[in-house]
Structure formats: C-alpha cells, structure tokens
Amino acid sequence: MHSSVVLGPPPSLTSLIADQPVALFLDFDGTLVELAPGPDAINPRAGLAQYLSALADRLEGRCALVSGRGITDIEKHLGPLTVAAAGSHGSDMRRRDGTALGPGALDVPALIDREMRDFAAQNQIDYEKKPHGAALHYRSRPGAGKAARSFAEELATQHGWAAQHGKAVVEIVAKSANKGAAVTAFMAESPFAGSHPVFIGDDLTDEAGFGACYELGGAGILVGSPRSTSARYLLPDVQSVHEWLEL
C-alpha cells in the first residue's frame, strides 16, 4: 500500500495505548537522532538510551530499535541498550534481554568489502564497513551518488547480495535483511505478539517496516517531508518524534 495523499499527524501515544497493546519499532538516524554529514558525526540527545528503556517499560517490553546501523555502533554512541534491537537492516537481531533472535547474520564477503573500499577511495566518498554489510556515503559529494548506486547494485548482484538505497547512502546487505522481516520476527513472539505495531522512520529502507506493520494491522509514521509512502501518518522532524514518544 503506497499513498500519495496528504498524511496527518498520528493519534497521541497515550490514546493509542489506552485503546490496545501497542508495539513500537523505531528507526535511529533521522528519526531518533538528527542526520549528520557522516555516520560518526551524530549528536544524540543525552540520556537517550535511558529514555528508550523507560519507554520500553511503559510498553511492557514492546519496543525495538530497527536500524541500518549495527547494534554495537548504536551502543558506541548511546551506551548499553536495554531495549530489543535489530541492526544492519535486521541482519542482527536481539531481544531486550540480549539473547539473539533468528539464525544470526552473515558477514559481508571480503571481496565486496575490498571493492567497496576501493570505489570509495577512488571517488572521494565515505566507506563504512558494518558488522553485516558495507555502505557508501555520498552526502559530502552528491554528484557521485548515481555512480555509487550503480556500482553497488552491480556488485551486490554479482555476489548474490542486495543493494539498499537511503538518504545519500547505498548499502550492500544479505538478501534476507530488511526492516520488514525484523518487524515480522519480533511480532511472532512475546512480548510483541498480538499487539498493534507502529513503525517510525524517515528513509526509503523504512518502507519495508511500514509495510510489515500495515500487514499486521498496524501503521507507519513517516518522519520528515511528505512523499509517496506506505506510512499512514507524518511527523515533521526528530524533535516531534521525541515529543510524540513522550521521551
């Protein structure tokens, strides 16, 4: 379900919770923290990990981060997480208690890593090696975006992996890795099962999360400017997300 109609703000979290058990799935960059020129340049709100833990308590554990970043990378910026999380677009999932969910993730093949690294150096863009993927960031050189996208798509196809596109980034990840699959995996078990799922995200890779929530009777909340989307609601910016979450 893709919509180009004008999206309105979501009902308040308090009112949603009053009606039924709610599960929240939260993107990280561009949703909980402002986008930055590079992945290490973000400036998260002080105490964000603790606020998220309190939110998970309020939802009886039904809250998960679902990010393109690796979980360990998020913890590098926030400190230890005490919420469920899916990193690397769902390649690496763990429950709130830290136990692994799913079969575990594949590391990106060395050949993909080397070719992506070489391409980044030759084109003067940023390369990010992730625990379970590889990314080319071209925010600093938007003109290199088209070549980066084409290169990553061809390389991924050659090796049986998948290319995912985001805001000024293209990543190579395992074909099974997407945010919708992560939502589905969490929703299949306690404490998420049977609840009303809501996914909040800003990027194209979040569309799979919106779609999974829609299929399970829930909804998506798009962050940022309106566009064609599977989300049902819109919040304008990161600050409004924090306010809606009552953090």
Q: Which residues are catalytic?
A: 27
**Rounded CA separation 120/147 (Å):** 11
Question: Helix (H, G, I), strand (E, B), or coil: what is residue 35?
Answer: coil
CA distance 26 to 70: 14
DSSP letter at 44 equals P
Residue 130 CA, chain-centre distance (Å), reads 14
Judge contact between 165 and 207, C-beta under 8 A. no
Answer for the pair 120, 126: CB distance below 8 angstroms, yes or no: yes
Query: What is the helix (H) or strand (E) element at residue 42, kind and residue range?
Result: none
Tokens, residue 178: 């997407």
Alpha carbon of 131 to those of 41, 90, 166, 180: distances in Å?
A: 19, 12, 18, 20
